[in-house]
Amino acid sequence: MERGLRPSSSFHLVCAVTAVAAAISSCRAPSSLDLPLDFGGAAATTPSATAPVLPPEPSLLVVCLGQAPSSLYLYDALTPEAQTVLQAVYDGPFDILGYTYEPVILEDLPTPANGAARLEPITVSQESLYFNPESGLPDTLVPGKTYTPSGCTGPNCLQPYQGGDVSMDRWVVEFRLRSGLTWSDGESLTAADSVFSYRLNAQAEPPASRDLVFRTAGYEAVDSQTVRWTGIPGYFDPEIAAHFWPPLPEHLLAEIPVEDLPTAQASAVTPMGWGPYRIESRQESGSILLGRNASYHRASEGLPVYDEVLFRFVGNDPETVVQQLLTGECDVLDETALAEEAWPVLLDQEGQGRIRVVSAPGPQTLRADFIFRGAEAGAPSIFADAATRRALAMCVDRSGWVADQFGSHAVVPSSYLPASHPLTAVDLAGPAYDPQAAAAALEEAGWVDHDDDPATPRVAQDAAGVEDGRQLSWTLGVTSRGLDEAAARALAQDVAQCGAEVDLETFPAQDLFVPYPEGPAFGGDLDMVVWSWFGWVTPSCDLFASWEIPSDDRPEGVNASGFSDPAFDAACRSVLYGVGSEGLTAEAARETQRIFVDQMPALPLAGLPRTVALGPGVCGLEADSSSASLLWDLESLAPCAP
């Protein structure tokens, strides 16, 4: 029910009093009768009308999102709005907080230390499925391909397969559910529900979690509370704690054909979970009303605080959505309702103290990637020399641009990792804004101001990898998204002060990200590209690994720059595929960042903030940059104390 449509307690009281007054006026007494109308005396004897005692109105939290999701089916809920709604229906099975997995409906996270995760040797033969450590993909083992022999824990002991049987290792991981978990209809939630969910995921076309599905050799229920996941040989993922499929209610969905699940009522319209709320109804407007789940496993803690949650879908026009927060039509504006154009409005209203803006430095980094892989094929690139890249980085006032756009709600990352990531090496600072030092560094790198006119491009004179006389001029591609284009234009203006000329080309995002060889960035048609990329729990060093350089053999490679460094590759492999301690992983991650900052294959421009706006009546939100939704802790939101 939309806010404003539910009659309030005061409305019932007014109706009751009005009814009493109407009855008195319609039953007039004879004029000769003396009525006891002495209002001043204490001895009046007429009985007073008593308003009926009504139960308190259920507390309601109104959360406003962007667009209504077309489906809430777990393996078809692709929009951020759907993910936010599902935070209320499902709780976990784990949360990602501070880029670390936290168990919610699991007793603990499986680790080698607690015995729930172990490596076991297995004999592998020719034509068997295994994990190729060079490509980073599942593969078929044939002679000549590289594999990881049993006992090998790093990139230095890989071997070429020569045929026959070989011994490799694989992960075996067991997940144990908390006891007493139930679905919101009271039915027991068991390990079989997680296995059922895995099977549905594996049958989808394509699987929603296709990477994990293809890296899974087995997923089975050991008992009613325990699930065992087995990986394919040679697959060493640092995120093994996450290889648990969120349960789905087999007792409700088993008879529905897989192809119908994305649209069926029980799976996509009003899906059932185990979380703090259950879906009660969906309105014609698209809004979704949820009520308290009496079977919620944290009910004894007084959670959820609100009795009901109403999800409304309001678009993301900045003035409109903020106005609805100011008028009380929304209690919370989710990040899906806050387009990048909303920042000036948010900062203005926050400055006036009318709303609260809660933000976290997000996992999405806006970058300018230098593209120089053509140099390997003999085509000269103005960015082939790291000294040129570092000098140009000093021309760009990144901190100033971030402050203008986001106030204090965003930061400039030093490397490819988000600034909030626990493995970020905070002492490794990238080049600082210094136009004078940049000009001197460009001269030293062989880019001279031949006509003493800073308005004209510098030209190459003994610049590494570039023919003399070439101008310091390049084509920069950027998505037509407003924020990305604003960053690209600011970069172009800044480097112009250093004697560089930039030709800006905008593309729809779907065009800019087209894979090799047709794509303008991955196909090498551009010299630089400004775009946004996500980081996650495992450091995404493979964005600059040599095996990810787009090519005929690797058309979906994501290293558009063409950066290739053996030391970086070795450290990155240890981060992604090594089987070492947390300390070794941290050191390997630090090494990738050290090389990144030194070689500068890309210039990080901004760590884009994730933001929620709150009205004055809601408290308790703890924003976390790595959570699936900033409303990950929806059950703990509460009315603010007066």
pLDDT digits (tens, 9 = 90+) for 567-605: 999 999 989 887 766 778 899 999 999 999 999 999 999
Of 60, 84, 618, give the one whose Cα is nearest residue 338: 84
Of 434, 393, 395, 430, give the one whose Cα is nearest residue 411: 430
Helix axes 386-393, 435-444, angle to 10 degrees: 160
pLDDT at 244 over 70: yes
Higher pLDDT, 467 or 209: 467
> For residue 614, what is the enclosing H or E element?
strand 602-614
| Rounded Cα distance, 368 and 370, in Å | 7
pLDDT at 17 over 70: no
pLDDT given for residue 361 in this prediction: 84
pLDDT given for residue 209 in this prediction: 66
pLDDT given for residue 577 in this prediction: 82
Low-confidence winner among 2-11, 385-394, 512-521, 596-605 (lowest mean pLDDT): 2-11
| Rounded Cα distance, 488 and 431, in Å | 18
pLDDT given for residue 54 in this prediction: 52
3-state helix, strand, coil in the chain (%, to 5): 30, 20, 50
pLDDT given for residue 224 in this prediction: 98
Identity (one letter) of the amino acid at 477?
G
Tokens representing residue 337 in the block: 């309702």
Segment 316-331 mean pLDDT = 95
Q: Is residue 549 within 8 Å of 517, Cβ to Cβ?
A: no
pLDDT digits (tens, 9 = 90+) for 444-453: 999 999 888 8
pLDDT given for residue 365 in this prediction: 95
Of 294, 354, 363, 301, give the one whose Cα is nearest residue 327: 354
pLDDT given for residue 211 in this prediction: 84
Q: Which residues lie below 8 Å from residue 74, measured CB to CB, with a gap of 6+?
A: 86, 90, 197, 208, 246, 248, 267, 271
Q: Is residue 138 within 8 Å of 200, Cβ to Cβ?
A: no
CB count in 10 Å sphere of residue 18:
10
Q: Is residue 596 within 8 Å of 430, Cβ to Cβ?
A: no
128: left (phi over 0), alpha (psi -120 to 50) or beta: beta
pLDDT given for residue 429 in this prediction: 86
CB count in 10 Å sphere of residue 152:
19
Q: Would you say the C-alpha torsion 101, 102, 108, 113 has a positive or negative sign? A: positive
* Percentage of the residues of the chain whose pLDDT score is greater than 90: 76
Question: For residue 275, what pLDDT band results from cuts at 50, 70 and 90?
Answer: very high
pLDDT at 9 over 50: no
| Rounded Cα distance, 235 and 173, in Å | 13
| Rounded Cα distance, 485 and 480, in Å | 6
CA distances from 446 to 331, 382, 454, 493, 598 (A): 58, 11, 16, 22, 19
Segment 325-353 mean pLDDT = 94
Q: Which residues of 308-320 are buried (b: 16+ CB within 10 A; e: fewer)?
A: bbbbbbbebebee
pLDDT given for residue 8 in this prediction: 32
pLDDT given for residue 642 in this prediction: 59
Low-confidence winner among 53-62, 138-147, 195-204 (lowest mean pLDDT): 53-62
Kindly report the length of the chain: 642
DSSP conformation class of 256: S
pLDDT given for residue 552 in this prediction: 93
* Percentage of the residues of the chain whose pLDDT score is greater than 70: 89
Of 468, 466, 448, give the one whose Cα is nearest residue 458: 448
Average model confidence (pLDDT) across the chain? 88
Q: Which residues lie below 8 Å from residue 451, measured CB to CB, with a gap of 6+?
A: none
Of 105, 95, 236, 252, give the one whose Cα is nearest residue 177: 105
Higher pLDDT, 505 or 576: 505
Identity (one letter) of the amino acid at 256?
I
pLDDT at 283 over 90: no
pLDDT given for residue 47 in this prediction: 43
469: left (phi over 0), alpha (psi -120 to 50) or beta: left
pLDDT given for residue 358 in this prediction: 93
pLDDT given for residue 580 in this prediction: 67
Of 625, 631, 571, give the one whose Cα is nearest residue 413: 625
| Rounded Cα distance, 84 and 553, in Å | 38
Question: For residue 374, what pLDDT band results from cuts at 50, 70 and 90?
Answer: low
pLDDT digits (tens, 9 = 90+) for 46-83: 444 455 555 567 799 999 999 999 999 999 877 999 99
Q: Is residue 396 within 8 Å of 491, Cβ to Cβ?
A: yes
pLDDT given for residue 10 in this prediction: 31
pLDDT given for residue 36 in this prediction: 30
pLDDT given for residue 620 in this prediction: 93
Question: For residue 3, what pLDDT band results from cuts at 50, 70 and 90?
Answer: very low
pLDDT digits (tens, 9 = 90+) for 521-531: 999 999 999 99
Low-confidence winner among 117-121, 239-243, 349-353, 476-480 (lowest mean pLDDT): 239-243
Segment 496-516 mean pLDDT = 95
Q: Is residue 599 within 8 Å of 544, Cβ to Cβ?
A: no
| Rounded Cα distance, 226 and 288, in Å | 34
Outline where 481-630 has alpha helix (H). Answer: 482-496, 509-512, 566-577, 582-599
| Rounded Cα distance, 623 and 615, in Å | 15
| Rounded Cα distance, 324 and 330, in Å | 6
Tokens 């990637």 belong to 369
Q: Which residues lie below 8 Å from residue 562, measured CB to CB, with a gap of 6+?
A: 371, 372, 373, 374, 375, 376, 524, 549
CA distances from 313 to 243, 316, 332, 630 (A): 33, 9, 12, 17
The helices-and-strands tally (H runs, E runs) of the chain is 14, 24
Please write down the HEC assignment for all residues of 53-76: CCCCCCCEEEEEECCCCCCCCCCC
pLDDT given for residue 56 in this prediction: 64
pLDDT at 38 over 80: no
The three-point CA angle 398-404-406 to 5° equals 95
DSSP calls for 503-537: EEEEE-HHHHTPPTTTSTTTTT--SEEEEEEE--S
Helix axes 398-406, 482-496, angle to 10 degrees: 150
